[in-house]
Structure 1
Amino acid sequence: MAFFETNDGVKLFYVDKGKGQPIVLVHGWSGDHTTFAEPIESLSNNFRVVAYDLRGHGQSDRTDQGLTLRRFARDLKELMQHLDLSEVTLAGHSMGASTGFEYIRNHGTDRLRTFTILDMTPKLINDEGWNLGLWHGEYTRSDADRDLTQMYEEFEGFSRTFMKRTVPYLNATELEKTLKLSAANSPHVLAAMWHAMVTADYRDMLADITVPAQIAYGEKSTLYSKETADYLNERIADSTVIAFENCTHMLTAENPGRVEEVIRQAAGTPATKA
């Protein structure tokens, strides 16, 4: 466990465990590196696994600057340069996948071996020409404006509604526990990054993903649909769609063993025998 300082003076927390071919894991909005706690442990037996807290998240600096996906992608580039990583198996969940899209748009695929996308769309906002975004095509720009206003006024209220819809099976106790974890984040950081996601559109760069890609989705995800995964599959030349049965958008928590299996397969090494 260590800290790395970016070129604009923000300290990012990361773990670097194991030896061998590198794997870099990027968590999603409002999470941290522990999103991948179990895969980090198991994969580090065979690989060098790097997982970090995005700026404004977890143990990284709670900064007021650089709260854009372009800066997040720059942070990823600088971290990989700092650790001298190449032939990287990159995996991102939700906003972590958006960070990967942005990284490839700005910095190419030279350092990458593969890219694993865990339940994410290339464009959150739905409109007349696009219905594969958030909430299975229902989320519009006016919805985003409303949500951003609520985040700044009362983040707990937004978080409660969001989590109930994202993970509908949570009981009251589980929901309150989840909300407590969410409350540890800085509302202005999360609002800024929500804005970054709702204004992003990666449909025009999907053909630039020239490394093999794995496109995983939760079959019970209330956020994104199978059709979203199929859209990505059609536009990323060397890609495969992987369904997570009985999983929502929170598939990293619901089936971490399957996440490990997918990433291990992407890295090109078969699973170890029990």
Structure 2
Amino acid sequence: MSKFTTSDGIKLYYEVNGEGKPIVFIHGWSADHTSFKPHVEELSKDFKVITYDLRGHGASDRPDKGLTLNRFAIDLEELMEYLNLKDVTVVGWSMGSSIIFDYVRTFGVSRLSSVCIVDMTPKLINDDEWKLGLYHGRFTVDDTFKALTTMCNSWMDFAKPFIKEAIPYLSEEQLKPIYEATSTNSPHVMYSMWIAMSANDYRDVLENITVPTFIIYGEKSTLYSSETARYLNSNIPNSEIVAFENCTHFLVLENPQKLVEIVKEAASR
């Protein structure tokens, strides 16, 4: 069980599998490194694959400090420095993509060779001028305050309907193990990172992602739209869109083999 200590004293759990060109997977909000288990098994045959638990998630420390996307970006840089990783392909799912955006804002792309953005928007909150955020343009600042109030009252009162919205085809029985896993999260981390996602706008960063980039989205995602993917594509140089047919926001788990193929292609750039 490997752990790395950040510059502010937080222990992050990480795993390294395989040898070769490095690929770093960054999981989403409320998830952990196990989201990428099937991908690691396949990709580690040809690459060095790094997965880790974000601070506040999984087996990493769950502190009361550093619960911002900027600190998560710093954690990523410090982990890559600790492991002496260069020429890295980074894959960010959902909030993992927000961490990539913040990483590029803070550190640039000199350590990166390619990027995969998986079903995410550069700006979560919609307004009169922006309709490419959460829930296909329907989620406003008022909605995020209501969501935060619910989370602060009872984390699972928010988590259960959110999960049902994100994976609408699962029955209540099928959702039970997902609910159980989600309930192990620390509520203060969850609402702190929801604030972090709600507060940030990364549209000004996109032009600085100059390495080859794959913009991946689920055609049946209830969270983000194909128009969001096209916006990213039009603003990130040297990028291309990859649609996952019959997949939702959970395309990482729904079609892992296709994601493996895309990551392999990204790592070859």
Work out whether the TM-score is over 0.5.
yes
Equivalent-residue separation in structure 2 for 1:19 and 1:146 (angstroms) = 46
Counterpart for residue 158 of structure 2: 158
Opposite residue 135 of structure 1, the aligned amino acid is Y
Residue-by-residue CA offset, 1:77-98 (whole Å, 9 max, x unaligned)? 0000000000000000000000
Opposite residue 234 of structure 1, the aligned amino acid is S
- Tell me the CA shift for residue 160 of structure 1: 1.1
Equivalent-residue separation in structure 1 for 2:40 and 2:3 (angstroms) = 18
Counterpart for residue 100 of structure 2: 100
What are the within-5 Å matches in structure 2 for residues 57-206 of structure 1?
57-206=57-206
Equivalent-residue separation in structure 1 for 2:205 and 2:22 (angstroms) = 25
Equivalent-residue separation in structure 1 for 2:2 and 2:21 (angstroms) = 20
Gaps of 5+ in 1: 270-274
Equivalent-residue separation in structure 2 for 1:236 and 1:10 (angstroms) = 33
Identity %: 53
Please state if 1:225 is matched with 2:225: yes
Equivalent-residue separation in structure 1 for 2:194 and 2:246 (angstroms) = 27
Give 3-state SS (helix, strand or coil) of 2:157's partner: helix
Find runs of 4+ consecutive structure 1 residues off by over 3 angstroms.
none
Give 3-state SS (helix, strand or coil) of 2:86's partner: coil
Counterpart for residue 23 of structure 1: 23
Equivalent-residue separation in structure 1 for 2:24 and 2:245 (angstroms) = 25
Opposite residue 92 of structure 2, the aligned amino acid is G
What are the within-5 Å matches in structure 2 for residues 40-51 of structure 1?
40-51=40-51
Please state if 1:207 is matched with 2:213: no
Give 3-state SS (helix, strand or coil) of 1:9's partner: coil
- Tell me the CA shift for residue 5 of structure 1: 0.2
- Tell me the CA shift for residue 178 of structure 1: 1.1
Opposite residue 47 of structure 1, the aligned amino acid is F
Give 3-state SS (helix, strand or coil) of 1:178's partner: helix
- Tell me the CA shift for residue 170 of structure 1: 1.0
Pairwise CA RMSD: 0.7
Opposite residue 140 of structure 1, the aligned amino acid is T
Equivalent-residue separation in structure 1 for 2:25 and 2:176 (angstroms) = 27
- Tell me the CA shift for residue 172 of structure 1: 1.1
Equivalent-residue separation in structure 2 for 1:131 and 1:97 (angstroms) = 19
Opposite residue 89 of structure 2, the aligned amino acid is T
Counterpart for residue 236 of structure 1: 236
Residue-by-residue CA offset, 1:98-148 (whole Å, 9 max, x unaligned)? 000000000000000001000000001000110000000000000000000
Equivalent-residue separation in structure 2 for 1:174 and 1:154 (angstroms) = 22
Equivalent-residue separation in structure 2 for 1:13 and 1:42 (angstroms) = 21
Residue-by-residue CA offset, 1:26-54 (whole Å, 9 max, x unaligned)? 00000000111001111000000001000
Opposite residue 251 of structure 2, the aligned amino acid is L
Counterpart for residue 263 of structure 2: 263
Opposite residue 107 of structure 1, the aligned amino acid is F
Equivalent-residue separation in structure 2 for 1:69 and 1:197 (angstroms) = 7
Opposite residue 268 of structure 2, the aligned amino acid is G
Give 3-state SS (helix, strand or coil) of 1:216's partner: strand
Q: Which stretch of structure 1 is more off in the superposition, 159-168 or 217-226? A: 159-168
Equivalent-residue separation in structure 1 for 2:83 and 2:116 (angstroms) = 20
Equivalent-residue separation in structure 2 for 1:29 and 1:191 (angstroms) = 10
